[in-house]
Chain A
């Protein structure tokens, strides 16, 4: 390679210099931080203990900013505590989805041929099922409860990762530096761990952040349908079912978890989009 061609490649600008140009990261990150903070410090932040009883369906007041629900419990407290289950369930399930999805995608992209065909057809079949149906199948196989919900949401999200990672692998495989390392005698193990994985990390982060938004909604939907086990846990989806029956009497127990769900999803989506914008420029400069 001549030195002239090297000059055409501009060095990637550092991420920090771009950060301020992408407001989504700030707004989204802020929202996400808010809920993560609430989840971690739920006991300190919320005004009351999570199962304390006050009075049935009280309207908002200074004592109870969002009123109380039909189980006589403080809505604000339960929304704050609810962020725990929602976030833990979504993060766990997306992590599972990343592990399964990325491994399958890399395997398909790297091996190619019959393995690729097999895995991708499997993913196609997977995608042809409505996601709720997959969830019901999982829950029917296990028993209703959080483990089943987490597994179901994980399985629903696997195809996204597999497809995207496989696509990137196809172009990566023929990148100059990959071919060089193969020529230098890199083992498949080394390749995956130190060559491919670092190259797709950016994509994984973006997809995972966006996926978290979906996962929050899916978790809430499944617990709304009553298949997330114990309905007495403070969880946004089950709070909504509870509130639905008393809409004519008080709307706060319905609005509060609804808004919480929307805001976390908005947060994750903005953050994910921002990340993509940031990282895409960087990846493009390879």
Chain B
């Protein structure tokens, strides 16, 4: 057990020193000047677009693969990507995409209608030999697609079971990235380690936990990438990324704690970028288990927490107070939902009442589930949890914090094992559906991966969300979402906490790279100046 000695602060310091001394050796002299080094907190898990929902994988995937439809450079508008144009039928059930001629995959295979059909067959056909049997995390997004057919070499037609407003945004998601059929057939299950797409960067190699190297694709159909190579380097300790960035060993560092970001803001040669993220950090309350099955107890939780103080403590002031699950940067945000109210006395009174009615005693014991590593929407989970615990204990709760690693944390909460739990969501598609339906519709309560962690069931809300999903008129949809959000506010199945801006720090010689509101890391436009 003498190993324990190593965990002293002295060890941490020597760790940092060690890194300082030896890390330059890894990337230093061998790196040519036209290589962009992207430092991040973790490694990818799988580079096959349909098989991952891990942010660190997506960062790489969006640079290798391209969907039919793309986001605009700076906004969330959808613009032509691999597809030059598209049209819908009168009833909204048929979508026809015209492909750009002459587009090639990195392995020289032409990108034609057959490749598109092949790509979507992998997702839609459970028996497809090229889906490689794994679970497809975003399958439900595609569930309304009835069939995909090639009309001619450059025309693809999608037929939907019923008109769906989120169809086009789904087609723009990273998981809809068109894959090279030749490569999928050639590599088989190894495709996830040898991805071939049509994006601005070509995959070179992946050394797990060390680096992923991409190089510029010279035959790209649009503007070619600004740098010759991109290296994704994972280093788990954020303090190491800070030092690497200060020393110029990496060009971009993301996912840093807010206080580090603040200290980097004034550092020489470093520029900090920020964009309002489309995300929500929230506290889920298991509505099917006592005592949180009582709305008064949930209201008491809500009134006990001072969001302004929470933002100070856990986000160093860099977050926006949330009042509903849909971020204000997105349309459909519930304007008429009342602001969150911090009122300790009211919380105490509500809890007392509930205790009397429910026949339980104060203090009310609750477990609070917390993840062990930071997420973009939950940058300091431990501090957040401790703040919430202290706040709740002031009004008559007794909180036990249960920490689990990130995978287990969400797995256990999906099974409904928690009472309170920290959670959050970053938008996959810029649509309120992605927040409200995914996180609060009763269809999404299931034990193997549903995201309605609160197990919230309200028929009226379900109905509104269903209507909004199959309505094509944006104005009407916004109205339905507004109503749903007001109902949700009254039931308090979740306490929306914060919307967190996405911030990165980069060396000042990195030009042209701009954070996208979708928080996709698209490095095509980045250039390096001497």
A230 within 8 A of B: yes
Which of B197-205, B206-214, B386-394, B422-430 forms contacts with chain A?
B386-394
Looking at the complex, which of B4-12, B107-115, B161-169, B355-363 is the stretch in contact with chain A?
B4-12
Cβ-based interface call for B313 (8 A):
yes
Q: What separation, in Å, do the CA atoms of A144 and B367 have in the docked complex?
A: 14
**B84 interface contact, C-beta 8 A:** no
Task: Decide yes or no: A240 and B382 within 8 Å by CB, A218-B1, A221-B3 being known contacts.
Answer: no
Q: Which chain B positions have C-beta within 8 A of A231?
A: 370, 382, 385-386, 401, 403
B459 CB to closest chain A CB (Å) equals: 36
Secondary structure dominating the interface of B: helix
- Interface-lining segment among A108-116, A184-192, A198-206, A246-254: A246-254
Q: Nearest CB to that of A243 among chain B residues?
A: B9
Contact bitstring A222-251, B, C-beta under 8 A = 1, else 0 = 001110011110000100101111111101
Q: Which of A51, A214, A217 contacts B390 (CB 8 A)?
A: A51
Cβ-based interface call for B257 (8 A): yes
- Bound form: Cα–Cα A242–B7 in Å: 12
Give chain A residues whose Cβ lies under 8 Å from the Cβ of B239: 245, 247-248
Contacts of B374-396 to chain A: CB distance below 8 A = 380, 382-383, 385-387, 389-390, 393
In the complex, are the beta carbons of A244 and B400 less than 8 A apart? no
Q: A156-B1, A221-B1 known; A247 and B13 CB under 8 Å?
A: yes
Q: How far is the CA of A248 from the CA of B241 in the complex (A)?
A: 12
Contact digits for B228-262, partner A, Cβ 8 Å, 1 yes 0 no: 00000000001100100000000000000101100
B263 in the interface (beta carbon within 8 A): yes
**Partner among B4, B8, B387, B393 whose Cβ is within 8 Å of the Cβ of A71:** B387
- The proximity string for A residues 160-187 relative to B, scoring 1 for CB distances below 8 Å and 0 otherwise, is 0000000000000000000000000000
Report the bound CA distance from A8 to B12 in whole Å: 58
Cβ–Cβ < 8 Å partners of A156 in chain B: 1
Asked whether, in the complex, the Cβ of B12 is within 8 Å of the Cβ of A247, the reply is yes
Chain A nearest CB from B435 CB (Å) reads: 29
The answer to whether A244 and B12 have CB atoms under 8 Å apart is: yes
- Are the CB atoms of A255 and B9 closer together than 8 Å? yes
Given contacts A132-B3, A221-B3, contact A249 B372 (CB under 8 A): no
By a CB distance below 8 angstroms, the chain A residues around B5 are 217
Instruction: Please pick, from A57, A130, A230, A244, the residue contacting B9 in the complex, using a CB distance under 8 A.
Output: A244
**Range of interface residues on A (Cβ < 8 Å):** 35 or more
A220 at the interface (CB under 8 A from B): yes
Can you name the residue of chain A whose Cβ is closest to the Cβ of B12?
A: A244
Contacts of B380 in A (CB 8 A): 70
Residues from chain A with Cβ under 8 Å of B312 in the complex:
56
* A249:B259 contact, CB within 8 angstroms: yes
Encoded as 1 (CB less than 8 Å from any A CB) or 0, chain B from 392 to 418 comes to: 010000001111000000000000000
* Choice from B3, B9, B313, B403 contacting A240 with Cβ under 8 Å: B9
Q: Does A95 contact B (CB under 8 A)?
A: no
* Shortest Cβ gap from A105 to chain B (Å): 20
Closest A-chain residue to B1, C-beta based?
A131
Q: How far is the CB of A76 from chain B (nearest CB, A)?
A: 17
Q: Does A258 contact B (CB under 8 A)?
A: yes
Given A72-B313, A248-B242, A258-B8, A132 contacting B390 (CB threshold 8 A): no
A217 touches B387 (CB 8 A): no
Complex: chain A residue closest to B312, CB-CB: A56
- Residue in chain B with minimal CB distance to A153: B1
CA distance A111 to B148 in the complex (A): 79
Query: Could you mark each residue 53-85 of chain A with 1 if its beta carbon is under 8 Å from any beta carbon of chain B, else 0?
Result: 100110000000000001110000000000000
CB of B344 to closest CB in A, whole Å: 14
- In the complex, residue of chain A having the shortest beta-carbon distance to the beta carbon of B401: A230
Residues in chain A near residue B393, CB distance under 8 A: 51
Query: Across the two chains, which residue of chain B brings its CB closest to A237?
Result: B7
Q: Complex: how many Å from CA A242 to CA B259? A: 14
Which one of A72, A224, A229, A248 lies within 8 Å of B7 (CB-CB)? A224
In the bound complex, residues from chain B placing their C-beta under 8 Å from that of A132 are 1, 3-4
Instruction: List, in ascending order, chain A residues with CB within 8 A of B316's CB.
Output: 56
Q: Which residue of the partner chain B has the closest CB to A251?
A: B9
A228 to chain B, nearest CB (A): 10
Contacts of B259 in A (CB 8 A): 57, 70, 246, 249
The answer on a CB contact under 8 Å between B263 and A71 is no
Q: Determine the distance from Cα of A144 to Cα of B259 in the docked complex, in whole angstroms.
A: 30
| Chain B contacts for A225, CB-based, 8 A | 7
Contact of B263 among A53, A221, A242, A248 (CB under 8 A): A248
Residues of B within 8 A of A232 (CB): 385-386, 389-390, 401
> In the bound complex, how far is the Cα of B310 from the Cα of A56, in angstroms?
12
Smallest CB separation, A152 vs chain B (Å): 10
Q: Chain B contacts of A245 at CB under 8 A?
A: 238-239, 257
CB pair A144 B403 closer than 8 Å? yes
A221–B4 touching, CB < 8 Å: yes
| Distance between Cα atoms of A225 and B372 in the complex (Å) | 10
Docked complex Cα distance between A105 and B239 (Å): 48
User: Contact mask A243-274 → B, CB, 8 Å, 1/0?
Assistant: 11111110100110010010000000000000
Would you give 8 A-B contacts (Cβ < 8 Å), ordered by A?
A: A131-B3, A214-B1, A218-B4, A221-B7, A231-B382, A246-B259, A247-B12, A247-B239
Q: Which 8 A-B pairs have the closest CB atoms?
A: A221-B4, A254-B9, A131-B1, A230-B401, A232-B386, A217-B4, A224-B7, A218-B1
* Chain B interface (Cβ < 8 Å from any Cβ of A): 1, 3-5, 7-10, 12-13, 16, 238-239, 242, 257, 259-260, 263, 312-313, 316, 370, 372, 380, 382-383, 385-387, 389-390, 393, 400-403
